[in-house]
């Protein structure tokens, strides 16, 4: 009740103050920024009381406060605050790479890779095939040549293949679940983040070559540009990761400020040298985490997540504010088939991969239920398409966010059921052994809004 009263007072104050200012001045945007941080965080805490991820609350707050409902946050304000989204995408990519530890990959790598190789390509292919089959009804595919439609459909499908390590980690921390299903699911979703960013970057680079008119690319013979987009991103990212590791070894001061500098200037460096931002910063996070001492890497991730907490709140709130209810209503008939097809692909692909990887029977039956959720990386990629698709980006983003919203709502419910059915659920508040990563990855994100947004 206290949070509801705070929200009502905040809204009332904003309605009184905003008319007094002159649109277009920086002070008004700062006021709206502060309002989103406090208001969206309050809504996130309210939805957490009914066991929904806070991210859902942040997006819901943005939708309510945005142009489609109350109009407290205008279209112009969303545009003016778009730099926050770019910073958030950079932080998401770095933290996704930092979640990967080479020791974990070596221990369970074969089984994880076989599940991933079976599930992710199947999801990518069936979603692409579905969109191509109904392309005359899909807004962002209508009136495009077959080659361009295929590139756009593949770009959408690459986002549909994303999972959510953040939701997985948060639920394992909350329930103290441990066992083969919890361990393998977490490994799959962490590696999947790397794979999907590679996939998205490759599809985007290919689309800029095949369909430059629809992706803002330069066209022409640009095979070298494609290789530089990918290879250059890895090279520059590894260099940046090495610099971060050196700073953590010899300086280790002002980590909070240094984390923001790495994210901001990392994104700017990627723009200046014309490489893929997501892949570059993911590589930087991976190198920094695995080259640094364990305690140094954890300290830096903690600093980055603390600095990113308000950024993520605003990022997801802006994603919600950019939704147009009328457009969402129009795409639901398309979104539901995509969600169903994606769910079926995850089910069959993960079961096939688990059998191929000689996973235990309980893993074969329940792994798929932990791969449904989508969150931070998916929303980051959905936001990115508006920047790289000058004509079709908004239509694709609307459909992507509608799909992500459905998967985000039902994913945690599925995973909790999987843990319960496999006998790994332990949410009685006891002191039993925590999930394998709960003592490592999850302890650094408890209690912060970045917990559910860091890696996806």
Residue-wise pLDDT for 23-61, tens only, equals 555 557 677 888 888 888 888 888 878 767 677 788 788
Pick the residue with more confidence: 51 or 248? 248
Give start-end residues of each CATH 1.20.1530 domain in the chain: 84-452
User: CB-based contacts of 401: which residues, under 8 Å, 6+ apart?
Assistant: 59, 319, 323, 379, 382
- Cα separation of 144 and 451, whole Å? 40
pLDDT: is 217 or 422 the higher one?
422
Tell me the mean pLDDT in the region 315-341. 82
| 84-452 topology per CATH | Na+/H+ antiporter like fold (1.20.1530)
Instruction: Give residue-wise pLDDT tens across range 113-151.
Output: 899 999 999 999 999 999 999 888 888 888 888 888 898
For Cα atoms 410, 412, 413, give the angle at the middle one, nearest 5 degrees: 65
**So what's the pLDDT on residue 297?**
64
Mean pLDDT of the chain: 77
Rounded to whole angstroms, how far apart are CA atoms 113 and 350?
11
Lookup: tokens for 297: 């890497």
List, for residues 404-429, the tens digit of each pLDDT value: 878 877 887 888 888 888 887 764 44
Is 443's pLDDT higher than 80? no
- Of 192, 201, 279, residue with least CA distance to 233: 279
CA distance 61 to 323: 11
pTM over 0.75: no
* Helix, strand, coil distribution of the chain in percent, nearest 5: 80, 0, 20
**Spatial distance between the Cα atoms of 309 and 84, rounded to a whole number of angstroms:** 12
Position 389 pLDDT exceeds 70 = yes
């Amino acid at each position: 009740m206290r949070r509801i009263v705070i929200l009502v007072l905040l809204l009332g104050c904003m309605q009184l103050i905003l008319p007094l200012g002159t649109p277009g001045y920086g002070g008004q945007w700062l006021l709206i920024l502060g309002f989103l941080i406090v208001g969206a965080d309050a809504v996130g805490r309210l939805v957490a009381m009914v066991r929904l991820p806070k991210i859902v609350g942040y997006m819901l707050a943005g939708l309510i406060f945005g142009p489609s409902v109350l109009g407290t946050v205008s279209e112009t304000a969303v545009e003016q605050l778009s730099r926050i989204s770019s910073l958030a995408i950079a932080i998401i990519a770095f933290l996704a790479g930092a979640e990967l530890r080479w020791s974990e990959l070596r221990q369970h790598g074969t089984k994880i890779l076989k599940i991933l190789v079976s599930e992710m390509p199947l999801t990518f292919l069936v979603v692409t095939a579905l969109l191509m089959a109904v392309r005359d009804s899909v807004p962002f595919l209508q009136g495009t040549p077959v080659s361009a439609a295929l590139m756009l459909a593949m770009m959408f499908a690459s986002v549909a293949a994303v999972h959510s390590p953040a939701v997985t980690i948060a639920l394992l921390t909350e329930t103290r679940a441990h066992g083969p299903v919890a361990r393998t699911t977490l490994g799959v979703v962490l590696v999947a983040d790397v794979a999907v960013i590679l996939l998205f970057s490759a599809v985007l680079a290919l689309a800029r070559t095949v369909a430059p008119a629809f992706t803002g690319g330069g066209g022409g013979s640009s095979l070298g540009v494609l290789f530089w987009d990918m290879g250059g991103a890895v090279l520059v990212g590894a260099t940046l990761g090495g610099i971060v590791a050196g700073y953590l070894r010899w300086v280790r001061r002002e980590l909070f400020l240094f984390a923001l500098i790495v994210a901001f200037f990392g994104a700017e460096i990627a723009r200046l040298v014309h490489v893929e931002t997501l892949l570059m910063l993911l590589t930087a996070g991976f190198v920094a985490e695995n080259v640094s001492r364990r305690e140094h890497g954890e300290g830096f991730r903690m600093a980055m997540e603390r600095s990113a907490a308000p950024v993520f709140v605003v990022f997801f709130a802006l994603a919600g504010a950019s939704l147009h209810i009328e457009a969402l209503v129009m795409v639901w008939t398309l979104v539901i088939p995509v969600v169903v097809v994606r769910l079926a692909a995850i089910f069959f692909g993960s079961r096939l991969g688990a059998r191929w990887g000689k996973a235990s029977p309980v893993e074969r039956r329940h792994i798929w239920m932990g791969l449904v959720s989508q969150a931070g990386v998916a929303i980051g990629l959905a936001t990115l398409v508006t920047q790289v698709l000058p004509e079709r980006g908004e239509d694709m983003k609307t459909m992507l966010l509608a799909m992500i919203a459905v998967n985000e709502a039902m994913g945690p419910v599925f995973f909790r059921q999987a843990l319960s059915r496999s006998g790994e659920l332990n949410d009685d508040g006891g002191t039993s052994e925590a999930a394998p990563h709960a003592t490592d990855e999850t302890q650094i994100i408890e209690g912060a809004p970045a917990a559910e947004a860091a890696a996806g």
